[in-house]
Homo-oligomer: A and B are copies of this chain.
Amino acid sequence: MAGKAKEQAGRSVTSKVVALLEAFDPAAVELSLNDLARRAGLPLSTAYRLATELVEWGGLERGDSGGYRIGLRLWEIGSLASRGVGVRDVAVPFMQDLYEATHENVHLAVLDGREALYIEKISGRLAIPVKSRRGGRVPLHATGVGRVLLAYAPPDLLEEVLAAGLRRYTPHTIVAPGHLRRALAEIRRDGFGFAHEELTPGTASVAAPVFGADFAVVAALSIISCTSRVNLRRLGPAVRLAAICISRELRDGPSPAGIRPVAGARQRS
């Protein structure tokens, strides 16, 4: 007990507030006070006191069943995160076009640490439901967007990913370093890449890089669909074209209304 008390005393209040927020994840969007305290590693009384302050602010809310959940005020402040927003704002209209043209799930992801983070998803009733969501993270080596981001990232990142080990999610996941290096080289050669049932059985993706004003890759655009529904390789050029349009607008600003030429110079292949 003495050791535990000392450990608690060494934690800043900020770190405890952070621990409370970090207790939530997509599989635990509502938590009882007990679970909240346990997951945050805090004594019940501390968790209760801090959670009460956060509820008063609106950063947490009480659910219908009495549990705690992330509040709309935190969602609202989180929506001010500006990294990626410039890309997203330019990308969304083209993502919408791509959805209308294909009726498949369209995603935009950015690199965050050693993972790809979905910052936008456009989908509809005509698309195959897939589990991906805005705010979701996926591994770099086993997804279309991840491999595209990895293909154009500084080489150090690939070495870090290889050093951490390539986890096998399905029998199709690329787990051999040489195989992954070849896949990345193919993406740089073709301007788009595929992942076929490597993270989730029955699901495949095709992705292409979005280049910023300085020609560095700032995001990856993808379509995710059901392998039985469509030959995704046929959609590669459409995804690449949309990514080129987004890249051009990031570089040159918007084309005059109504005149948006779709012929795109190869960007970096």
Contacts and interface: CB of A to CB of B under 8 A. Distances in A.
A122 B106 CA distance: 13
A81 interface: yes
A21 B60 CA distance: 14
A26 interface: yes
A42 B267 CA distance: 47
B123 A93 contact: yes
Given A97-B125, A123-B96, A80 B135 contact: yes
B70 A78 contact: yes
B81 A135 contact: no
Given A93-B124, A112-B72, A82 B14 contact: no
A96 B97 CA distance: 12
B77 A22 contact: yes
Interface in A113-137: 117, 119, 122-125, 133-135, 137
Copies in the complex: 2
Given A75-B135, A78-B78, A69 B83 contact: yes
Given A17-B14, A93-B125, A124-B93, A77 B78 contact: yes
Contacts of A75: 78-79, 81, 135
A185 interface: no
A18 B59 CA distance: 9
B71 A81 contact: yes
A74 interface: yes
B82 A134 contact: no
B78 A74 contact: yes
A97 B124 contact: yes
A29 interface: yes
Interface stretch (A2-10, A49-57, A154-162, A167-175): A49-57
Contacts of A110: 72
